[in-house]
Amino acid sequence: MTVLGINVSRLRGVHKVFVRDLQPAQLLHPVRAHGNAAEWVPLGLLLLLILELSHAAGSVVLHVFGGFFFLGRLLHAYGVYAKSPLSIAGAAINYLTMLIMSGWALWFHFVQ
Cβ-contact 43, 1 below 8 angstroms: no
Cβ-contact 76, 35 below 8 angstroms: no
Give the integer Cα–Cα distance in Å for 65 and 102: 11
Q: Please give the average pLDDT of every successive group of 10 residues along the chain, which has 112 residues.
A: 93 88 88 94 96 92 97 96 94 98 94 83
**Residue 80 burial (CB < 10 Å; 0-12/13-18/19+)?**
buried
Q: Which of 9, 72, 84 is nearest to 37 (CA)?
A: 72
What global pTM score does this model have?
0.88
